[in-house]
């Protein structure tokens, strides 16, 4: 009887070892992706369809004039970053228009995972705008930064954007995480 118990125990342990060995062989995804806390500190972006590009007024720089009056050579003053003229006033979008600066958002916060993490737009909803037109112009980087070119013809409206984040082995979405307001 004792011999049968030893053989039975031996078979049970051998079966258990094989079961554990085969169970450990299934494919486990590499890395991780956490989006539960994903959000934007500034969760909206205002895109103007009409820019204020009034040029600034160029006037003599009083600080430069004062230093010239003290007999300091102009080359020295300019090397200090003080120039003969300064610009005052002007429209708030003058430099954006002059330099072609696109509209950009801040990066998303709270998304963690194995790099590289790719972001894509899952879907867009709007109250009165045209989502197809927005999708024609908007792009999103892996860190969640939205970019809209300065020159666009996106209709006015509020656009709610949902994102999908993916990396090797994982894909998770965040709904209505960002708003683009076109005025």
Please give the average per-residue pLDDT across 30-56, as a whole number.
Answer: 95
Please give the average per-residue pLDDT across 49-76, as a whole number.
Answer: 95
Residue 11 has pLDDT above 80, yes or no: no
Q: Which residue has the tokens 């995480």?
A: 177
Is pTM beyond 0.85 here?
Answer: no
Return the percent helix, strand and coil in the chain, to nearest 5.
Answer: 25, 30, 40
For residue 108, the 8-state DSSP code is P
Q: pLDDT: is 25 or 158 the higher one?
A: 158
Residue 121 has pLDDT above 80, yes or no: yes
What lies within 8 Å, CB to CB, of 107 at 6+ separation is: 141, 143, 144, 145
Residue 8: band (very low, low, confident or very high) from pLDDT cuts 50, 70, 90: confident
| Alpha-carbon radius of gyration of the chain | 31
Question: What pLDDT score does 10 carry?
Answer: 79
């Amino acid at each position: 009887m004792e011999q049968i118990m030893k053989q039975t125990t031996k078979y049970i342990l051998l079966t258990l070892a094989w079961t554990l060995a085969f169970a450990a062989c299934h494919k486990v995804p590499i890395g991780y992706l956490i989006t539960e806390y994903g959000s934007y500190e500034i969760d909206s972006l205002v895109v103007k369809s009409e820019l204020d590009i009034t040029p600034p007024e160029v006037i003599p720089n009083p600080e430069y004039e004062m230093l010239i009056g003290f007999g300091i050579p102009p080359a020295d003053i300019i090397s200090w970053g003080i120039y003969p003229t300064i610009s005052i006033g002007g429209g708030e979008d003058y430099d954006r228009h002059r330099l072609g600066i696109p509209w950009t958002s801040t990066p998303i916060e709270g998304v963690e995972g194995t790099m590289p993490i790719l972001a894509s737009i899952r879907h867009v909803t709007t109250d009165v705008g045209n989502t197809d037109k927005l999708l024609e112009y908007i792009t999103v980087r892996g860190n969640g930064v939205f970019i809209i070119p300065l020159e666009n013809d996106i209709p006015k409206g509020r656009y709610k954007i949902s994102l999908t984040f993916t990396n090797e082995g994982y894909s998770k979405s965040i709904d209505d995480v960002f708003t683009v307001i076109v005025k």
